[in-house]
A = this chain, B = another copy of it.
Amino acid sequence: MKILITGGAGFVGARLARTLLQRGTLDGRGISRIVLADQAQPPADLLNDARVEVRVGPLLAHCEGLRDEAVDGVFHLASAVSGECEADFDLGLRSNLDSTRALLDALRHRVNGGAAAAKLVFSSSVAVYGPDAAVAMPATVTDTTLPTPQTSYGIQKHICEHLVADYTRKGYIDGRSARLMTVTVRPGRPNGAASSFFSGIIREPLAGVESVCPVGLEVAHPVSSPQRTVEGLIAVYEASREAYGGRTALNLPALNVTVAQMLAALEEVAGPAVRALVRFERDERIAGIVANWPTAARADRAARLGLLPEANFADIIRQYIADSANTPGALAGLAGLAGQA
């Protein structure tokens, strides 16, 4: 079978691709080809896998060609992030809404030509939730909480959930939408997402670098590890429609933590000197965005699929450390600590 991963060179997309290549099967079928569509080149290990095909460029430009291509399954992860969408309204509409629509229409075109409907998992986001004067947002959002997004990114994600639901109802795709929690710890550099610091306050200290936390210790947020996120996407893909349980989006599992708990876990895993590299300097813009996010999430439908969050944040940090063993400098803070000990 042939799988398309949009955003396939990104952090979650590349990890998903590796996991699928390692499994060799999806949904009980052998994987012969994985197409990674992204604005950037994927990492070298993926480039070098004979089963991987790379398409670099904006998704919108690829969709015309997809209209006559036999793709069995799609993980649609490509997206402009929240900060970008707030800064450039047209970019958000084009990258998130227009591209999704073009992708769905390409898949529909195949069905209209007699092909079976492709399975599709759309990566939505916990960012669909927000407060509104008309509706009090609960302290813990659930699968059935009314989304009233407070960002263009959240609006666009939620709109695409509805498009996926309708294209599915019409039989043009077999679509499912999974709301990702904030994925942490992300490797590499800070990105344009307002949530970037949820990785930065762990990643930078582990690398021996100071990190600035733009919000207070009391800020609470639903997070997930990269591995649990990828497992969730695959499980949602493989679920029967009955097990998926509806046409609306479901939440992926969340570990609900405060910044204080994250830093306590950092100290537990890496010691007080690493923890001490986090400095607090309030950024009103980021703090304002984060204040409109849910402080916790529940994922009942995902739990019925057997999906659970990690037991604690220390395990998430340990996962990052294991993943970063071969990344030069990524664990320089730990090495320093070991040297001092």
Contact = CB atoms under 8 A, between A and B. Distances in A.
23 contacts: A89-B170, A132-B246, A134-B144, A134-B245, A134-B248, A134-B250, A134-B301, A145-B146, A146-B248, A148-B165, A148-B246, A148-B247, A148-B248, A149-B162, A149-B165, A149-B166, A152-B166, A155-B162, A155-B165, A155-B166, A158-B162, A159-B162, A159-B163
A135 interface: yes
Contacts of A246: 132-135, 148
Interface string A101-113: 0000000100000
A238 interface: no
Interface in A81-103: 89
B247 A132 contact: yes
A83 to B, nearest CB: 15
A163 B132 CA distance: 15
Indicate how many identical chains form the complex.
2
Interface residues of A, number: 29
A149 B163 CA distance: 11
Interface string A129-155: 000111100000001111011101001
A279 interface: no
Contacts of A89: 108, 170
Contacts of A158: 162
Contacts of A18: none
A51 interface: no
A282 interface: no
